[in-house]
Amino acid sequence: MKPLASTLLALGLFAAAAGIADRALASECEWPDRRTQASVLPITTDDGSYASAVVIGRNRVITAAHAVHEAIRTFVRIGDEYREGKVLSMDAGKDLAVIEVDTSGLAPIRLSRREPHANQRVWAIGFPQASSKTTSLGQFNGEVDGALHTSAPIDAGESGGGLLTCEQGDFVLAGMLRGYGAYRRGNEYVRIENHSVSVAARDIEEFVFWRLH
């Protein structure tokens, strides 16, 4: 996972009304259920990369392009089995890749049809450091240059994982985890704690529609 330099302008300018609305939704979605979490998967490649992926359709998962762009072979772990996948399309600019793999038994996570609102609860799900699945809770902080910034902490290996929100009691995919927030200090990037950056659901939908239809 590569750190993403972030511009933090306007983050923190929240509407009180949005917070009230989010508290109402919170009672409907306390924590992602097993069925939803089962559709976030670990992936690995023949060049030693590891990341996460999300089932978005029958035999289709999305992941971060930077995790698979140099690989010849990509594998998705479903249960105790590693299944080889085929990269169907990739967009390095948006950091998106679609992989074809047998996802039988797993339900796709529906893409959100609306943008998150300020302070809205979000859940980040992925496989940090190629270990066990982790779910972290945070809130939506704002959008910068089309990317979603949240306070849900993530680590290396969670790129390609799911950023979930609640819509009318259902967990939906608000975005795909891309990296953790960072700022530049001299010649180095300094990681920002409790800050993650995701590709928005609208960009995922546009990418999947135009590239695969």
Regarding whether 96 and 174 lie in a shared domain, the answer is: no
Of the candidates 209, 2, 6, 19, the one whose C-alpha atom is nearest the C-alpha of residue 116 is: 19
Task: Compare 213 and 191 and report the one with higher pLDDT.
Answer: 191
Residues 180 and 117 in one domain: yes
The answer on 25 and 44 residing in a single domain is: no
> 124 and 206: one domain?
yes
Name the residue range of residue 93's domain. 39-100
| 125 shares a domain with 92 | no
How would residue 130 be classed by pLDDT, with cut points 50, 70 and 90? confident
Higher-pLDDT residue of 80, 22: 80
Sign of CA dihedral 145, 91, 208, 59: negative
Number of domains present in the structure of the chain: 2
User: Is 80 in the same domain as 137?
Assistant: no
Is residue 193 packed enough to be buried (19+ CB in 10 Å), middle (13-18) or exposed (0-12)?
Answer: exposed
Phi, psi dihedrals of residue 85, rounded to the nearest 5°: -110, 165
Instruction: Specify the pTM.
Output: 0.84
* Tens-place pLDDT, residues 161-189: 999 999 989 999 999 999 987 888 888 88
**Judgement on whether residues 151 and 58 belong to the same structural domain of the protein:** no
Residue 65's domain is classified under what CATH number?
2.40.10.10
Kindly state whether residues 29 and 46 are assigned to the same domain: no
Could you read off the pLDDT of 50-69 as tens digits, one per residue? 999 999 999 999 999 999 99
Q: Give the alpha-carbon dihedral of 177, 202, 99, 52, to 10 degrees.
A: 10
Report the pLDDT averaged over residues 1-11. Answer: 41
Same domain, 57 and 133: no
Shared domain for 72 and 94, answered yes or no, is yes
Whether residues 159 and 144 share a domain: the answer is yes
